[in-house]
Structure 1
């Protein structure tokens, strides 16, 4: 008898060793084009590890009873007995597998056909998790009783939509809501679906602003951007005239930044108006082209802001020996070349399209804001695309803040050295006597802050209060106006340079030549 028992145990051990390991299903099947089909065929017969795996449940259930599976504390799946009976005809038991899969498995492969590049849904996957439900070897569709899937959520998200992954033989796919109904219980999104597949909940970040505030901010942005477009054109004309009289590098750098800023505000207005004009039927190459233009203009503006800071560093810190061969050509390769390269890569990846955000006001009225920008339909490329805007802008603000700090320090040293020590007066008395010069220095620092793009750093204030939204919106929409005022200041100083008297101090001459040359 012991020999028979040993042989049975050996056969069972060998058969279990021959079964496919469940831990290898994800990595091995992902090598196939149609990886969902591979996953569904292997996950039923794979061998589970001895230790419990978080987010993975594989067990046999009785087909005459309703099955409830909880892979995690945030997820619950309820399968009716009718669906279990439909999955098999020869047995009273069937294998049920519920697994939690990262949403990156569904995002890392962009669609090959342009037909699948049409945005269907907007938002992001709740927690970046997808729930895969498999029952037996049969594909269950058109169920008489729906399968219920519960996803817990918190108050930071809203407008949840249940969806499933609709895949095709060539490996492409898209998220769809066909056959699924969504119910929000307050703490859970409950999905009632008449089929089994890969399920997830698409949500939008909750916006704390009411609809009236959003509309007010929109009007401020449109008016400010329109003024910026008009005044940046005038600024370009001023710089061209100044450059014709004095072909200096600083004026050339100002011209490039003004041109990039003109493209930014113009592309924003075109993208916004096209979205409003076309409504929901705005998909196509026009919206993608406008999204490309807006993204490229923003990166170009940030790039030239950095170059303004770099040029200011050469003027104030490295005053001597700053000659660089083909200086403007090298700056142009960075200022225009880098944005073009990044935007071209994003365009090839097909990330440009319609960006949609759902908003809910105090009366629970749901509205949708949209613009031609980075498409919400393909969140798998959005982290890469946003890193070129959010992360890049943070680095620009940090670098130019350091440059502005050096400018303030240089100003202070010049004023103290020329007015305090040389004249023998205390520097505080000097500033009382020449308070007008202090205001001029403050205006210079404020103007440089706008030229260096530091108002972009005010985006942090939008997370504090509603007033932060207004400050950020007003200053950034009026960047073209601020640049125009800076160009007027340069024109006035350019005229006054020809009338400098012998009474002017060396610090005044230094400041004039540093900021205007």
Structure 2
């Protein structure tokens, strides 16, 4: 019995005490620490300085004694360089005054660092103030730089440690981070920017940190743009969305009056699209200002509902843009003898039902919440802005976002672009056919009208482009240049204004149709179909 208790005590004591791997080769420390009970990062930091140096020197691994009264600079790889001031080396020796300290610098594969899942907050439970913030992004080159000096932790340094990460290829939005262990003590953690500043020199990232740890550069994070640019784009978006809300309300009034005078299915589809755009711009403004009105650390179910509403409105806008393209296909390709029972009702089931099913599935999964935007000012200092959207802490947020806000819109834009091309072909065929029937005496008159009709055709194509949602296709230009971002923001924030102009054009359309019906009976026959009555 005593022997059993002694064994249990010995096992418990060994698990709760730090592991000393003095007999393990340095190249095996990482593998051995991963087999232990304590977090491997803590075990690695404690034993990498006391491990046994093998006969074959490990690549990308530097361990040497340096003078504590002088600055030290080492480069474990050609892409990584570490500069440590003398004050940091002296502090690493602890209270004792030492002439030399052991400096270790190496690189580790980023796949060994496991991100901890976001903490699910129960009802009535507040956020933990010191809970680490998850930084989204990809570790540049998949390598993490580990730096260790002396036998004591080095933190809150008056002179920062300078770490240089060279770029092998063109990347953007770099952010210096270090590895912070999870409070759960399960070997997971998160990337944090506390105590580290980032400086982008074009061909390399310079990290200034006030401590020693595992360092890396996250590239292509959730969003990292210049702060002044983000402020300008925000003002443009807010003003454009406010104007869109005002003009979409007027457009709905116009469409309702037109529907009463001449009920057409095309007007009904336009009215549904305008309603979706109204919801989109209204929900965007609510999601943007709601977090600003609340405390940043406050948990709010309202923010989750607003994020759901914004996602639903966005999907509904693209769904009705796709249905606009489908309706245009029926008008241009299958012009005559079309009858669909309860046509608008069936379109509404698709236009409103599809987004509802998607957001219900996402809402049950807990996708929605606060979305963090990483902003960078002129001094390369990072700050965070928030809005109600898909939560940054949701693990599958990127997958859901890519499918619902990238793949689906791209499919809609591709199909509607084909429809717009078909419109251009039909207009050219119509103009060409009419030219063939004109007599020689009528050429002068046609030449006088040619410029006017060309402008009308261009206006029709531009109007249909906005109705079909093709300005969203300019999102591809945001990856090329800053002017592309401004053009994309301006055009898409003013969608409600464009829909208003299209509704005004429909009001003026009957007069032009009446004036041209005698001269152009083929056009009247094409547009006045059993499907459009």
TM-score (norm 2): 0.69
| 1:360 to 2:360 alignment | no
Equivalences for residues 95-134 of structure 1 within 5 A: 98-102=106-110, 106-107=114-115, 109-113=117-121, 115=127, 120=133, 124-127=137-140, 129=142, 131=144, 133=146
2:117·2:395 contact (CA, 8 Å) conserved in 1?
no
| 1:75 to 2:77 alignment | no
**Does the residue aligned with 1:120 lie in a helix, a strand or coil?**
coil
CA distance in 2 between counterparts of 1:427 and 1:387 reads 55
**Does the residue aligned with 1:319 lie in a helix, a strand or coil?**
coil
CA distance in 1 between counterparts of 2:487 and 2:361 reads 33
Pick from 252, 274, 283 the counterpart of residue 236 of structure 1.
252
The superposition leaves residues 222-270 of structure 1 with CA deviations (integer Å, 9 ceiling, x where unpaired) of: 2221121122122223333434455543233222211111111111211
Distance 1:516 1:411, change over 3 A: farther
Distance 1:390 1:103, change over 3 A: farther
Q: State the match for 1:506 in structure 2.
A: 522
2:240·2:493 contact (CA, 8 Å) conserved in 1?
yes
| 1:473 to 2:481 alignment | no
Deviation at 1:453, TM superposition (A): 0.9
Equivalences for residues 100-499 of structure 1 within 5 A: 100-102=108-110, 106-107=114-115, 109-113=117-121, 115=127, 120=133, 124-127=137-140, 129=142, 131=144, 133=146, 150-153=163-166, 157=172, 160-167=175-182, 168-169=184-185, 173-177=189-193, 180-182=195-197, 184=199, 186=201, 187-190=204-207, 192=209, 194=211, 196=213, 198-202=214-218, 207=225, 211=228, 215-278=231-294, 280=296, 284-320=300-336, 322-324=338-340, 327-347=343-363, 348-350=365-367, 352-361=369-378, 369-376=385-392, 381-382=397-398, 384-417=400-433, 419-424=434-439, 431-435=446-450, 436-462=452-478, 467-493=483-509
Distance 1:473 1:82, change over 3 A: closer
Deviation at 1:480, TM superposition (A): 0.5
CA distance in 1 between counterparts of 2:339 and 2:112 reads 49
TM-score (norm 1): 0.71
Q: State the match for 1:37 in structure 2.
A: 39
Deviation at 1:282, TM superposition (A): 6.3
CA distance in 2 between counterparts of 1:52 and 1:507 reads 83
Deviation at 1:396, TM superposition (A): 2.8
Q: How many residues align?
A: 481
The superposition leaves residues 429-486 of structure 1 with CA deviations (integer Å, 9 ceiling, x where unpaired) of: 6642433333332222221111011122233444565554443333222110111121
Distance 1:349 1:161, change over 3 A: farther
1:132·1:199 contact (CA, 8 Å) conserved in 2?
yes
Q: State the match for 1:89 in structure 2.
A: none
Q: State the match for 2:21 in structure 1.
A: none
Distance 1:122 1:144, change over 3 A: closer
Deviation at 1:405, TM superposition (A): 0.7
Structure 2: state its 5+ residue gaps: 1-24, 95-101
Distance 1:23 1:408, change over 3 A: farther
Distance 1:99 1:411, change over 3 A: same
Moved more, 452-461 or 100-109: 100-109
1:288·1:372 contact (CA, 8 Å) conserved in 2?
yes
Q: State the match for 2:11 in structure 1.
A: none
**Does the residue aligned with 2:39 lie in a helix, a strand or coil?**
helix
